[in-house]
Amino acid sequence: MSKIKPSKGAPFARIMGVGGYRPTRVVPNEVILETIDSSDEWIRSRSGIATRHWASDEETVAAMSVEASGKAIADAGITPEQIGAVVVSTVSHFKQTPAIATEIADKIGAGKPAAFDISAGCAGFGYGLTLAKGMIVEGSAEYVLVIGVERLSDLTDLEDRATAFLFGDGAGAVIVGPSKEPQIGPTVWGSEGDKSETIKQTESWEAYRKGSPAKFPAITQEGQAVFRWAVFEMAKVAQQALDAAGITADDLDVFIPHQANERIIDSMVKTLKLPEHVTVARDVRTTGNTSAASIPLAMERLLATGEAKSGDTALVIGFGAGLVYAATVVTLP
């Protein structure tokens, strides 16, 4: 018989607070058109994007994360010292080590929490949320700070007509804490590594270090392949998340998909047969694709504008490079 005592975690977990940070510089499509042969109408019709935010030198991954985290902490009504773990999802922190999470934890005054980074692309927020839920229920942390943050402008090839207009910068954060009732449903997540070439970094850092190519690596993708996968496969995953939570589309108040492309969002809404009353996040129009930051940023905006309210039931799903995905149903803070 095992001598290990059972953990004393909370029965369930919930999102307690949310915060976001968008860089001050707003970049309209006209700026993108300076380096690619396209048009504002073409960009809007293919993606829904009109503007995006690009970070200044001072708006680093850490700086944006600290701003978003401060808002989430205040929204949750806790102190930084109560945070037991910091989980950061990003692909645009350019130091292999140490994890940017440790720097963020120190800058927000969190004391000595567990702190680590994860790399799960546009599904990163869902991955982080799932890890946080596990920590709360297992009892290794009472409150967990989950951050999705990107400076994708650093990884954008402004001469690539297929991707130059897509990406933006920003940070979104949530505090996950204990709950007496289930407010974060089971996660449906996974990967399809056989499709890893459809979204990737153009060259490895090792190749760049050796001087071939001389051009700084960027993110590239096979647009049509990604679109088909997202539209047809991710709607199935979203439905599985609804089933796992024991609800139907009629029970939803809000749908917050990864803000990759408005055409993908529209197709998912149609396939899932979401009722008219469901509020759909369309933050992509003014924020662009911010990868791991897109879901918490969209969540924060919906709550701030009153389009969604505390206690609403929301379906969230992220999907992207890997290819990886994660979907779950949550109660909004």
Q: Which residues participate in catalysis according to the annotation?
A: 122, 258, 289
Cα dist. 94→56, 69, 91, 278, 309 in Å?
16, 20, 8, 38, 36
- Diameter over CA atoms, the chain: 69
Query: Alpha-carbon distance 135 to 98, whole Å?
Result: 22
Tell me the sheet residues that pair with 14. 177
Residue tagged 């293919």 (tokens): 46
Q: What is the number of other CB atoms lying within 10 angstroms of the CB of residue 46?
A: 17
Residue tagged 């499509």 (tokens): 29
Q: How far is CA 279 from the centre of its chain?
A: 18
Token digits of residue 170: 């920003």
Scanning the chain, the segments in alpha helix (DSSP H) are: 29-32, 40-47, 61-76, 100-107, 124-138, 205-209, 223-245, 262-272, 284-287, 294-305
Q: Is 69 helix (H, G, I), strand (E, B) or coil?
A: helix
- Read off the DSSP letter of residue 81: G
Q: What is the number of other CB atoms lying within 10 angstroms of the CB of residue 130?
A: 19
Tell me the sheet residues that pair with 172. 20, 148
Q: Is 247 helix (H, G, I), strand (E, B) or coil?
A: coil
Say which residues have a Cβ less than 8 Å from residue 86's Cβ, sequence separation at least 6.
101, 102, 104, 105, 110, 113, 114, 115, 116, 144, 145, 147
